[in-house]
A and B are shown apart, each in its own frame.
Chain A
């Protein structure tokens, strides 16, 4: 799949933002006034910024308002609805803490659950697609949720907790890469079933339907950069996981440690999200690929 910057930024930033909300709703960190303003500003900036980035993916933005209407069947519609409900639920909680110095805990607890549901719903936009076997597995939502809560923990300054969660995240991410590699052949879809000619013999492309590129090739048959995938996976595993884990669990607790780990982690999140799209093979590629 085409690793469009808009969807990479959307899933990365909004995941981190809602992950941070999940902790803030539990009263972690337990701050009021200006400190509270700072953490809520970051959470809103990341989640709203991510959602705005996703709008840049749309080719006909004027109809975006309709995207809240089909929550009965569409995970993308549910994502929009859940994000808005979550952001609104946190508003009284944030106002109470920033301006009134009170803890409206019930909004926080409900908001935390809603934030995690929002991340889950985001992950289902991709997980639901049978045509992209690499995404279509139960580990995808687990991965998205772990990215959110571990990134969120890192931003709240819960250094040891973050280190522990990031260690688990890294292992799950590596597992997702390995399991994902076997998904396409495991799906049972091949050139034979795509053309219905598999029973007659081995199927090869003789001539493509078109000589130039088109929307299908640009969007779903992305192959650029896949040859660097192994190197990028290694860099991602080091920056998301290994390096921050070493910093967070082995060094004394402190702002510098946390910020360095956070910077490394965010770089890793973007690399792994690029890989999430770039490495995902869509079954439509079978109509085009040689061999």
Chain B
């Protein structure tokens, strides 16, 4: 039902490292693949091979430039999916009871048999994490790969969300953010993990690790090398001019 659970002890979620993400969109593709071939309505594409293709995705990667005064701009790749908020506004607005937050692990899900496709949950989400599928008319969102993480039919190393499993730069981490001793919680504490739009009051479970500060030189830069491009003088200078004057050399001498 659309009442939020008092407090889910376990808070499964993702920690995304903006320092190591290379913006390859591998997580976008593996997410689309898994969530089209498995639980729920497939993530459809419209005009996939035509001039104006569009489609439903649960995870998308933006790229931003950040520029501090008097410093070069820095590129930051920014994957964005459902943050499985503790105070999820998308859940409470749902009129049909299709949207719910699980008490046992805090995952926010959509019951596709009840969704009427009104779109109000997508309006309520400040992050743009929910997309209404054009073909099925059903609201789609990140399930945290609920059909992988508890799935005993797949090898243990695969029991993480598809995006985490596929990330080649190890920028995505999955775990229990409600447990202060979990690897992900330690990572967040160590790297100063942050919430997106904290002022919206959604209390996201997913955290983002900000890019590490750029290195700065801690001593004076080394003296530049002596210039070697001066015009030769003396005997070498005479030789240079003499050879230049002979026919057959490149450039000006030939033209004369």
Partner-binding segment picked from A39-47, A96-104, A127-135: A127-135
A193 and B63 within 8 A (CB): no
Which A residues, 275 to 291, have Cβ-Cβ distances below 8 Å to chain B?
Answer: 282-284, 287
Q: Judge if B118 is at the interface, Cβ distance under 8 Å.
A: yes
Contact with B along A74-96 (1 / 0, CB 8 A): 11110010000000000000000
The answer to whether residues A220 and B2 also contact, given A60-B117, A194-B196, A287-B62 and a CB cut-off of 8 A, is no
A6 to B131 alpha-carbon distance, docked (Å): 19
Which B residues, 67 to 104, have Cβ-Cβ distances below 8 Å to chain A?
Answer: 67-69, 71, 73-76, 78, 80, 89, 91-98
B1 and A70 within 8 A (CB): yes
Q: How far is the CB of B206 from chain A (nearest CB, A)?
A: 11
Q: How far is the CB of A286 from chain B (nearest CB, A)?
A: 9
A204 and B64 within 8 A (CB): yes
Contact with B along A103-133 (1 / 0, CB 8 A): 0000000000000000000000100111110
Q: How far is the CB of A62 from chain B (nearest CB, A)?
A: 8
Contact with A along B128-150 (1 / 0, CB 8 A): 10011010111000000000000
B137 and A59 within 8 A (CB): yes
A1 to B3 alpha-carbon distance, docked (Å): 26
The answer to whether residues A63 and B114 also contact, given A189-B199, A206-B65 and a CB cut-off of 8 A, is yes
Chain A, residue nearest B75 (CB)? A206
Number of interface residues of B (CB under 8 A): 69
Q: How far is the CB of A23 from chain B (nearest CB, A)?
A: 29
Contact with B along A204-223 (1 / 0, CB 8 A): 11111110111110011000
Q: Judge if B182 is at the interface, Cβ distance under 8 Å.
A: no
The answer to whether residues A282 and B196 also contact, given A58-B116, A210-B60 and a CB cut-off of 8 A, is no
Residues of B near A60 (CB, < 8 A) are 115-117, 136-138
Chain A, residue nearest B200 (CB)? A130
Chain B, residue nearest A63 (CB)? B116
User: Which B residues lie at the A interface, using CB under 8 A?
Assistant: 1-3, 18, 28, 52-57, 60-69, 71, 73-76, 78, 80, 89, 91-98, 113-120, 122-128, 131-132, 134, 136-138, 194-201, 208, 210-211
User: Which A residues lie at the B interface, using CB under 8 A?
Assistant: 1, 57-64, 66-70, 72-77, 80, 125, 128-132, 187-189, 191, 193-197, 199-210, 212-216, 219-220, 282-284, 287
